[in-house]
Amino acid sequence: MTTKTASLDATASPSTSRAARKTAGTFFARIVGAAAFAHLLNDLIQAMLPAIFPMLKTQFSLSFGEIGMIALTYQVTASLLQPWVGFYTDKHPKPYLLPCGMMVTLLGIVLLATAGSFHMLLLAAAVVGIGSATFHPEASRVARMASGGRFGTAQSTFQVGGNAGSAIGPLLTAAIVIPHGQPAVAWFVVAALIAIAVLFRLTGWTLTHGHAQLKGLAQHQKEGLSRSGVIQAVVVICILMFAKFVYIASFTNYFTFYLMERFGLAVQESQMFLFIFLASVALGTFAGGPVGDRIGRKAVIWISFLGVAPFALALPYANLFWTAVLASTVGLVMSSAFAALVVYAQEAVPGRVGLVSGLMFGLMFGIGGIGAAGLGQLADHNGIVWVYGVTSFLPLLGLATAFLPSTRKPVK
Please indicate, yes or no, if residue 354 is contained in any of the structural domains: yes
Please indicate, yes or no, if residue 412 is contained in any of the structural domains: no
Please indicate, yes or no, if residue 160 is contained in any of the structural domains: yes
Given 197, 220, 243, the domain boundary residue is 220
Q: Is 266 exposed, middle or buried (0-12, 13-18, 19+ CB in 10 A)?
A: exposed
Please indicate, yes or no, if residue 289 is contained in any of the structural domains: yes
Q: Is 319 exposed, middle or buried (0-12, 13-18, 19+ CB in 10 A)?
A: exposed
Q: What number of residues does the chain have? A: 412
Does 382 lie in the same domain as 250? Answer: yes
Given 220, 239, 258, the domain boundary residue is 220
Q: How many CB atoms lie within 10 A of CB 27?
A: 15
Does 54 lie in the same domain as 6? Answer: yes
User: N- to C-terminal Cα distance for the chain?
Assistant: 17
Domain count, the chain: 2
Please give the Cα distance from 150 to 157 (Å, whole number): 11
Spatial contact of 169 and 43, defined as CB atoms under 8 Å apart: yes
Q: What is the pLDDT along the chain (412 residues), one digit of tens a residue?
A: 344 444 444 444 454 445 444 555 577 788 889 999 999 999 899 888 877 877 888 899 877 678 778 877 887 788 777 777 777 777 777 778 889 999 999 999 999 999 999 999 999 999 998 998 888 878 878 887 887 777 777 878 888 888 788 778 878 888 888 889 899 999 999 999 999 999 999 998 888 876 556 555 555 555 567 778 878 888 888 888 888 888 987 887 778 788 888 999 876 677 778 778 878 887 887 777 777 777 777 888 898 888 899 999 999 999 999 999 999 999 889 888 777 777 777 777 776 666 666 677 666 667 776 777 788 778 888 888 998 999 999 999 999 988 988 765 544 4
Please give the Cα distance from 207 to 30 (Å, whole number): 16
Q: Where are the beta strands (DSSP E) in 146-300?
A: none
Does 329 lie in the same domain as 204? Answer: no
Please indicate, yes or no, if residue 45 is contained in any of the structural domains: yes
Q: Is 290 exposed, middle or buried (0-12, 13-18, 19+ CB in 10 A)?
A: middle
Does 241 lie in the same domain as 369? Answer: yes
Q: What is the CATH number of the domain that holds 297?
A: 1.20.1250.20
Does 106 lie in the same domain as 17? Answer: yes
Torsion of the alpha carbons at 250, 253, 256 and 262, rounded to the nearest 10: -40
Please indicate, yes or no, if residue 408 is contained in any of the structural domains: no
- Give the CA diameter of the chain: 68
Does 391 lie in the same domain as 276? Answer: yes
Does 263 lie in the same domain as 202? Answer: no
Please indicate, yes or no, if residue 410 is contained in any of the structural domains: no
Does 232 lie in the same domain as 216? Answer: no
Does 213 lie in the same domain as 348? Answer: no
Is pTM, for the whole model, over 0.75?
Answer: no
Given 220, 249, 275, the domain boundary residue is 220
Q: What is the DSSP string of 257-288?
A: HHHHHHH---HHHHHHHHHHHHHHHHHHHHHH
Residues 6+ apart with CB under 8 A from 352: 86, 87, 90, 346
Does 70 lie in the same domain as 150? Answer: yes
Does 319 lie in the same domain as 211? Answer: no
Q: What is the DSSP string of 20-65?
A: HHTTTT---HHHHHHHHHHHHHHHHHHHHHHHTHHHHHHHHT--HH
The per-residue pLDDT for 357 is 65
Please give the Cα distance from 135 to 129 (Å, whole number): 10
Taking 3-state DSSP, the helix, strand and coil percentages for the chain, each rounded to the nearest 5, stand at 85, 0, 15
Please give the Cα distance from 326 to 329 (Å, whole number): 5
Does 237 lie in the same domain as 117? Answer: no
Q: CA distances (Å), 215 to each of 4, 86, 142, 340, in order?
A: 11, 20, 14, 23
Residue range of the domain that includes 278:
227-403
Candidates 208, 76, 77; CA nearest to 142 is 208
Please indicate, yes or no, if residue 296 is contained in any of the structural domains: yes
Please give the Cα distance from 294 to 303 (Å, whole number): 14
Q: CA distances (Å), 162 to each of 56, 100, 174, in order?
A: 25, 19, 19
The per-residue pLDDT for 23 is 53
Q: How many CB atoms lie within 10 A of CB 116?
A: 9
